[in-house]
A and B are shown apart, each in its own frame.
Chain A
């Protein structure tokens, strides 16, 4: 990021200096890209991931190395976030390293290819535990800490477009449940200045390769680019001070596309899709997303 861009971000509430972020599942894929983006914008990051490669190298350590090499600050965490104790432990790691928690992005997940006819109980338990249990554990623990700090916070949960109409009963069910959790959390935590938004991303990652034939999903135009790091600018915007009015929303990001989804069971609100000629920047999203969501322009620096 250039010095001029950094000054512009400060003026428009898009910098994250002094803030502490937890990103689960940040060793690879979407989570890695998001951790790098948040760190580049000034956040100190807890990089949480259980994965180790064949040589035994922790993915979380590697991403922390990348952040440090770029001049940022990060600490690794290999806590299993699928239990309440794990959620509290990763929040504890953040407070121990950096003294507080301001941002939480929950990317950790797994996948089992199983329909209602062939899913086994163990598969359902594993997927539900990591996705739904992990979200509940981390959101609860981080929100409690944010409430205690008394100055708000940002939570971005990660669901899937296939949540409400997918065929993989365990994965889709857990992702739909995360949408419900996000709505309820947004309602409950608004009183404490904590926003909760639900991301429904699409990218080629270790979980999904997404062949070109599957990129026309949900009635959208074919997704043109699938690099996971292209999802990160929208998350950085949602984590920023500028996004203080955006909460309880379902937002899609993939390549150069963003979409604000209608509330799934609301007869009155529409879905808005937007494609950029190139990858979105955080600054452009800060200008565009509030308009997609029908929010009036803010005088407090929301939008560029």
Chain B
């Protein structure tokens, strides 16, 4: 989607980040440094307050909630993004047995329906305009091991949304990938790695993949529920991220 996708240059491109950017450290600074114009959409006062401490004055803050598909369409029509970033679920809240229906419905709208509405609107906008673009979603690394149902529900749904986007947009120049974020690992620099990975995904050709990102490692997961294929994971060094990732996505392909 950029002039040179492999270098992560995003001059003249617009990114829409929906939600608490503090949960995805390094992403907004990385996009800004790459030259993108960054809009941060915030759903409510709580999200606005959470973002205050980490927001960059160069970002354009959009305090427009997205609770319906129509609101997603309206927002995307105004911002016209080339890149959509969906930060994924907030940390676990109520236990299943303690949850109530209103809380479940509210969180479902806040975390999931909003993401689907924005992804749908962005995909339609990019396809209609014939433009290249990217959607980068996030899911927690402990999606299938953590307690607290909404974190797991939304994390798994974000993986699925990514796959559905990639499959439906395979004939276009719009890419979709999910970053599986590991906050439990220590050492290294999560913000540095994550910022670099999202810049790479914003401009690269990779699509439909689930990529692990921790403070020291990146990896590509085997496609869940497939009998074949394997996970690959590597320790980050000083090298270029794209040079590390691209050979891993070509395992088994004919070199010619």
Contacts and interface: CB of A to CB of B under 8 A. Distances in A.
Contacts of A267: 212, 219, 221, 231, 233
A106 to B, nearest CB: 14
Contacts of B229: 219
Nearest to B150: A184
B243 interface: no
Interface stretch (B6-14, B54-62, B94-102): B94-102
Nearest to A259: B227
Contacts of A174: 157
Contact of B146 (A143, A164, A184): A184
Interface in B115-172: 116-117, 119-120, 123-124, 127, 139, 141, 143-149, 151-157, 159-161, 163-165, 167-169
A117 B120 contact: yes
Given A180-B155, A264-B224, A116 B120 contact: yes
Interface string B81-103: 00000000000000111011100
A230 interface: no
A177 B152 CA distance: 7
Contacts of A139: 96
Contact of A181 (B119, B152, B161): B152
Nearest to A143: B97
A7 interface: no
Contact of B164 (A116, A132, A218, A219): A116
A222 interface: no
Contact of B151 (A147, A184, A261, A273): A184
Contacts of B249: none
B199 interface: no
A169 B97 contact: no
A184 B146 CA distance: 6
B50 interface: no
Q: How large is the interface on A (under 10, 10 to 19, 20 to 34, 35 or more residues)?
A: 35 or more
B97 A121 contact: no
A177 B95 contact: no
Contact of B227 (A136, A163, A177, A273): A273
A166 B224 CA distance: 11
Given A120-B69, A188-B95, A176 B156 contact: yes
A181 B148 CA distance: 9
Interface in A180-229: 180-181, 183-185, 187-189, 200, 218-220
Contact of B123 (A116, A133, A176, A273): A116
A265 to B, nearest CB: 6
B113 interface: yes
Contact of A166 (B151, B155, B160): B160
B224 A185 contact: no
Interface string A258-297: 0101111111000101000000000000000000000000
Given A161-B225, A218-B227, A115 B168 contact: yes
Interface in B164-191: 164-165, 167-169, 180
Interface string B187-210: 000000000000000000000101
Contacts of A167: 163-164, 167-168
Nearest to A218: B226
Contacts of B101: 83-84, 137
A161 B157 CA distance: 14
A189 B97 CA distance: 9
Interface of A: 83-84, 115-117, 119-121, 124, 128, 132-133, 136-137, 139-140, 143-144, 147, 161, 163-169, 172-181, 183-185, 187-189, 200, 218-220, 250, 259, 261-267, 271, 273
19 contacts: A115-B164, A124-B69, A124-B116, A132-B108, A136-B149, A137-B101, A165-B223, A173-B157, A177-B156, A179-B156, A180-B155, A183-B143, A183-B144, A184-B148, A188-B149, A218-B226, A262-B224, A266-B144, A267-B221
